[in-house]
Structure 1
Amino acid sequence: MKNSKKLIALIITVSLLTGCPSQNSHKDDEDYYVKDTNAFNILISQYANNIEQIWGPKEVLIAGPKDYVQYEDNLKTRVHINFVSGVITIETMAESPIENLKEAIVSTLLMPEPVDIIRHDKISQNLSKDPFLFNQVLDQDHQPIRWSGRANSFADYVLANNLKFRTSGPHKIAYVEIKLVPNHINQRAKKFLPIVTEASNRYFIDERLILAIMEVESAFNPYAVSRTDALGLMQVQQHTAGRDIFKLRGKSGEPSRKFLLDPRNNVDMGTAYLSLLKTKYLAGINNPISLRYAMITSYNGGAGSVLRTFSNDRNEAVNIINSMTPQQVYRKLVTSHVSQESRNYLVKVSRILDNK
Structure 2
Amino acid sequence: MKKLWLLLFPLLLSACAQQPVTCVCESPANNTAHSGSSRPAVPAKDREAFEKLIQYFATQVKKEWGDDDYMVASKHHYVKYIDGYRTRAHIDFDKGKIWVSTVARYQPEARLKNAIIETLLMPSDPSKVDLFSDKKVVVSGKPFLLGQVVDHDGKPIEWQWRANRFAEFLLANKLTMKQLKKGHAYYVEIDMVQDHLSQREYQYAHLIREASRRYQIDEDLIYAIIKTESSFNPYAVSHAGAYGLMQVIPKTAGADVFKLVKNRNDIPTRDYLFDPANNIDTGAAYFHILKNRYLRDVSNPTTKHYSMISAYNGGTGGVLSTFDSDRKQAMRELNAMSPTQVYNALTTEHPKAEARRYLQKVLYFQKEFNAGNL
Q: Report the TM range for the smaller structure's normalisation.
A: 0.7 to 0.9
* CA displacement at 1:45 relative to structure 2: 3.0
Report the 3-state secondary structure (helix = DSSP H, G, I; strand = E; otherwise coil) of the residue aligned with 2:81. Answer: strand
Task: From 32, 37, 52, give the equivalent of 2:42.
Answer: 32
Aligned residue identity for 1:215:
K
Ranges in structure 1 where 5+ consecutive residues have no aligned partner: 1-10, 21-27, 119-127
Q: Is the 8 A contact 2:127 2:271 kept in 1?
A: no
Aligned to 2:280: 267
Q: Does 1:213 align with 2:225?
A: yes
Q: Does 1:92 align with 2:102?
A: yes
What pairs with 1:128-167 in structure 2 (closer than 5 Å)? 130-167=142-179
Task: From 252, 259, 270, give the equivalent of 1:247.
Answer: 259
Residues 77-86 or 39-48, more deviating: 39-48
Q: Does 1:316 align with 2:329?
A: yes
Q: Does 1:76 align with 2:86?
A: yes
Aligned residue identity for 1:279:
N
Task: From 115, 120, 123, give the equivalent of 1:109.
Answer: 120
Identity of aligned residues (%): 44
Q: Is the 8 A contact 1:37 1:229 kept in 2?
A: no
Distance 2:117 2:300 in 1: 51
Aligned to 2:58: 48
Aligned to 1:348: 361
Task: From 282, 291, 302, give the equivalent of 2:315.
Answer: 302
Distance 1:172 1:116 in 2: 32
The structure whose residues are more often helix, as a share, is 1
What CA deviation, in whole Å up to 9, does each residue of 1:43-72 have, x standing for no partner?
223311221111111111111111111111
* CA displacement at 1:287 relative to structure 2: 2.1
Q: Relative to 1, partners in 2 of residues 1:246 and 1:71: Cα closer, same or farther, differing over 3 Å?
A: same
Distance 2:356 2:126 in 1: 33
Aligned to 1:123: none
Q: Relative to 1, partners in 2 of residues 1:281 and 1:29: Cα closer, same or farther, differing over 3 Å?
A: closer
Residues 131-140 or 287-296, more deviating: 287-296
Q: Is the 8 A contact 1:307 1:317 kept in 2?
A: yes
* CA displacement at 1:39 relative to structure 2: 4.3
* CA displacement at 1:136 relative to structure 2: 0.2
Q: Is the 8 A contact 1:163 1:174 kept in 2?
A: yes
What pairs with 1:161-176 in structure 2 (closer than 5 Å)? 161-176=173-188
* CA displacement at 1:280 relative to structure 2: 0.6
* CA displacement at 1:305 relative to structure 2: 1.3
Distance 2:64 2:249 in 1: 32
Aligned-residue RMSD, C-alpha? 2.2
Q: Relative to 1, partners in 2 of residues 1:199 and 1:136: Cα closer, same or farther, differing over 3 Å?
A: same
Report the 3-state secondary structure (helix = DSSP H, G, I; strand = E; otherwise coil) of the residue aligned with 1:188. Answer: helix
Report the 3-state secondary structure (helix = DSSP H, G, I; strand = E; otherwise coil) of the residue aligned with 1:70. Answer: strand
| Higher RCO by CA contacts (8 Å cutoff, separation 6 or greater) | 2
Residues 133-142 or 321-330, more deviating: 321-330
Q: Relative to 1, partners in 2 of residues 1:52 and 1:117: Cα closer, same or farther, differing over 3 Å?
A: closer
What pairs with 1:182-193 in structure 2 (closer than 5 Å)? 182-193=194-205
Distance 1:354 1:34 in 2: 43
Task: From 351, 365, 368, give the equivalent of 1:338.
Answer: 351
Residues 297-306 or 242-251, more deviating: 242-251
Report the 3-state secondary structure (helix = DSSP H, G, I; strand = E; otherwise coil) of the residue aligned with 1:31. Answer: coil
Q: Is the 8 A contact 1:69 1:81 kept in 2?
A: yes
Q: Relative to 1, partners in 2 of residues 1:182 and 1:38: Cα closer, same or farther, differing over 3 Å?
A: farther
Report the 3-state secondary structure (helix = DSSP H, G, I; strand = E; otherwise coil) of the residue aligned with 2:60. Answer: helix
Report the 3-state secondary structure (helix = DSSP H, G, I; strand = E; otherwise coil) of the residue aligned with 1:255. Answer: coil
Distance 2:101 2:126 in 1: 27
Aligned residue identity for 1:106:
I
Q: Does 1:15 align with 2:10?
A: yes
Report the 3-state secondary structure (helix = DSSP H, G, I; strand = E; otherwise coil) of the residue aligned with 2:88. Answer: strand
* CA displacement at 1:191 relative to structure 2: 0.4
* CA displacement at 1:317 relative to structure 2: 2.4
Residues 201-210 or 315-324, more deviating: 315-324
Aligned residue identity for 1:79:
A
Ranges in structure 2 where 5+ consecutive residues have no aligned partner: 1-6, 14-37, 130-139, 370-374
Aligned residue identity for 1:347:
Q
* CA displacement at 1:247 relative to structure 2: 1.3
What CA deviation, in whole Å up to 9, does each residue of 1:262-286 have, x standing for no partner?
1111111111001100111011222
Aligned residue identity for 1:110:
L
Aligned residue identity for 2:58:
A
Distance 2:310 2:47 in 1: 22
Aligned residue identity for 1:254:
I
Q: Relative to 1, partners in 2 of residues 1:173 and 1:116: Cα closer, same or farther, differing over 3 Å?
A: closer
Distance 1:238 1:33 in 2: 14
* CA displacement at 1:129 relative to structure 2: 5.3
TM-score after normalising by structure 1: 0.87
Report the 3-state secondary structure (helix = DSSP H, G, I; strand = E; otherwise coil) of the residue aligned with 2:53. Answer: helix
Aligned residues: 328
Aligned to 2:297: 284
Aligned residue identity for 2:83:
D
Distance 2:145 2:254 in 1: 28
